[in-house]
Structure 1
Amino acid sequence: MKIQISILFSVFLLITSCKVASQSKEKSNIKFVKQTETKGTVTILEKEFVIKNLNTISHKVWVYLPPNYTTSKNKYPVIYMHDAQNLFDAKTSFAGEWEVDETLDNLYNKTKKGFIVVGIENGGEKRIEEYTPWSNTKYGGGKGDVYSDFLVNTLKPYIDKNYKTKTTAENTAIIGSSLGGLISFYAGLKHSKVFGKIGALSTSFWFSNKVNSFAEQHANLKNTKLYLLVGDKEGGSMVPDTENMAERLIDNGFNQNNIKTKVAANGKHTESFWKSEFLETITYLFNL
């Protein structure tokens, strides 16, 4: 019976994740405007990216800039995030937005700390293959390595060239949820010289057992910071998978002072949960 429940839960997670493809067809009203003293801006880049060897989808990229971006000579830390359709605008989201821009605007107004956020849209029905480094016999996937290489070799150099960024790993985070958490975890460990901070929220560690050996091989990191979040109402093996992964990393050399695991009371596998935890995630990663 437990096995059947676990299988049904896994199917539910995949279906829920894939539904991001069925976005509202209504166009976003977000446009690039001059920053004010209290609000940053979000824009969708004119340049779109077709990722070679991944698929033929032209990926849109959203960029959030802090309120003082145009008036300051400062350079800013950068947060790379997936599922951009869900981050900034309820009109393009599957089940509610994360309110990343509102959260960071409020943070800036209280602390004067600003961030650039780069959100990459998922490929809709191709989302599974984009965010999974390994294939699953039932659900396919397995092109996450191509996607993560794109982030490192193409997108980050483009962002660093065109925006006022702090380019070092200690100033660069990668954050995602569900399968987006899996690809964040993978890219962050594999490309630790690029991404020094990882936010892996409600991570789909169940997708492939290969994640365990991968983690053991890439765990010996002393400077990378990792935030693992899971809700206690997510069901299946989500909580033990997350807790076991933290133990596996530490046992294989990960700096235990740079890893935090949170099991959130009443947390469910939803956009609203990740929205409510976003500020705490970056607070830990960036020592706010």
Structure 2
Amino acid sequence: MALEKIKKKYSVAFELTNDNPLYTGHGCYMVGSFNNWSAEGYFVGSLPVPGEKLHFTLPDVEGGHLEFKLMREGSWQKCEVDKQGRLHDGYSVQVPAIGSFPLHTNRWRDEFAHSTASPQVHVLDEAFYFPSLGKQRQVWIYLPSDYATSDQYYPVIYMHDGQHLFDEALAPGRKGPVEWQVDETIDEAQEKAIVVAIAHGADVSDRFNTYLMDPYADIHAPKGKEYLQDIVQVLKPYVDLHFRTKPKRESTAMVGSSLGGLLTLYAGLMYPDVFGSLGVFSPSLWIGHHLNSLLAQRTLEERHAIQGQSYFFYAGEKELRKKDGKMQDSMVSDMLAFVQNFVTDFHSDIQVDIDPMGKHGALYWQKSFRRFYAWWHRKTL
């Protein structure tokens, strides 16, 4: 039996400067790829008084790309942030590193309001009923800042995983509470839109059950088809009735990531007369067993409708997919293979967006949503 190769490990030196006198003496912790982002963290020492420096070493680090963030007292609610109170991308060091890596701490998450949602985000219904799905889901709606003072009608984006779109307070994640900043993106844009965001289920199995179209693992009777049906036949008519929307397909989009990205792709193919633009982020294409048969079954009228749609496909070069129970194979290659066949067969308008440093997570979908929205401006608004 072959012996497993022992990976060489290194020590990485750091030099930390504290620019905020309010937190002198507070315990400072590091979390990152070295400890699988566990909030328990690695204690690096107490924050020094301004003008002094804290020198410390992180031991036993494998060679390669080290990513990390700083927090006080082992709490994501006390994580280091930028001057606006937003979680930043974090730090990265190539290991082995030469010399001491400089760190400058200033602002912390608990200095700012717990919620990061803009005033334009409202709860549409805490328990909107999806009859075919047989579930209640919280639904949020983002209304442009001039909605109450104008008579303007707006295009609409329907989005999955609503907890992660607007508010860090609702968006727990492996690398901290990162939200997509959908509201900030549209707040800053010249052209506005309404966003309808649907919460996912309370646990992982519920989310899988709702977003899958085909049986997978322990999910034998998924409800993705019913969920999409309820969006099209129940939620969208309700939104169009109660808000000033542009209801036609050229002004209606859907965006989702991972399983939600795959589900968004299915929504576009199943309802090409409803959704004119689809944002398909990091789609779990290896689970889409019936995509090809679904495409083959489209009627001539549906094929013409699909040809009139616009698709924005995003993936990161560092995203991996599961194969034989292990994380391997690039999601980009899966996506490009599907896109090539899709373009050949349907000639739809397609934009491919690949981030060379992109990984699977909200931080990268946050950035890709900004690019999607700028693209959607040009295509639709």
Q: Give the TM-score, by structure 1 length.
A: 0.80
Contact 2:132–2:227 (Cα < 8 Å) also in 1: no
Match of 1:134, SS? coil
Match of 2:256, SS? strand
Q: Which residue does the alignment assign to 1:151?
A: 231
Q: Could you say which structure has the higher helix fraction?
A: 1
CA–CA separation in structure 1 for the residues paired with 2:251 and 2:168: 28
1:169-192 CA-to-partner distances (Å, cap 9, x unmatched) read 000000000001011110111101
Do residues 51 (structure 1) and 155 (structure 2) align?
no
Query: Shift of the alpha carbon at 1:252?
Result: 1.5
Match of 1:114, SS? coil
Q: Which residue does the alignment assign to 2:347?
A: 254
Q: Could you say which structure has the higher strand fraction?
A: 2
Cα pair distance change 1:222/1:52, threshold 3 Å: same
1:92-148 CA-to-partner distances (Å, cap 9, x unmatched) read 1122110110111011xxx2x110000000112211111111111455462110000
- Cα RMSD, aligned residues only: 2.1
Q: Which residue does the alignment assign to 1:269?
A: 360
Q: Which amino acid aligns with 1:233?
A: K
Q: Which residue does the alignment assign to 1:192?
A: 272
Q: Give the TM-score, by structure 2 length.
A: 0.61
Q: Which residue does the alignment assign to 1:240?
A: 333
Q: Which amino acid aligns with 2:285?
A: F
Higher mean Cα deviation, 46-55 or 155-164?
Answer: 46-55
Do residues 287 (structure 1) and 381 (structure 2) align?
no
For structure 1, list consecutive stretches of 5 or more residues without a partner in the other structure. Answer: 1-23, 32-38
Q: Which amino acid aligns with 1:184?
A: T
Q: Which residue does the alignment assign to 1:131?
A: 211
Q: Which residue does the alignment assign to 2:28?
A: none
Contact 1:216–1:249 (Cα < 8 Å) also in 2: no
Flag the structure with larger Rg.
Answer: 2
Structure 2 residue corresponding to 1:116, chosen from 188, 191, 194: 194
Match of 1:91, SS? helix
* Matching of residues 1-288 of structure 1 within 5 Å: 41-46=120-125, 48-55=127-134, 57-95=135-173, 96-107=178-189, 111=190, 113-125=191-203, 126-140=206-220, 142-218=222-298, 220=303, 221-236=306-321, 237=329, 238-255=331-348, 258-287=349-378
Q: Which residue does the alignment assign to 1:15?
A: none
CA–CA separation in structure 2 for the residues paired with 1:80 and 1:53: 18
Cα pair distance change 1:82/1:101, threshold 3 Å: same
Query: Shift of the alpha carbon at 1:259?
Result: 0.5
Match of 1:85, SS? helix
By relative contact order (CA 8 Å, sep 6+), the higher-ranking structure is 1
Matched residue pairs, number?
248
Cα pair distance change 1:217/1:254, threshold 3 Å: farther
Query: Shift of the alpha carbon at 1:244?
Result: 1.0
Q: Which residue does the alignment assign to 2:111?
A: none
Contact 2:130–2:234 (Cα < 8 Å) also in 1: no
CA–CA separation in structure 1 for the residues paired with 2:132 and 2:310: 30
Q: Which amino acid aligns with 1:94?
A: P
1:30-54 CA-to-partner distances (Å, cap 9, x unmatched) read 89xxxxxxx7610112462232242
Contact 2:224–2:263 (Cα < 8 Å) also in 1: yes
Contact 2:115–2:168 (Cα < 8 Å) also in 1: no
Contact 2:116–2:169 (Cα < 8 Å) also in 1: no
For structure 2, list consecutive stretches of 5 or more residues without a partner in the other structure. Answer: 1-76, 78-113, 322-328
CA–CA separation in structure 1 for the residues paired with 2:150 and 2:270: 34
Match of 1:174, SS? strand
Contact 1:216–1:252 (Cα < 8 Å) also in 2: no
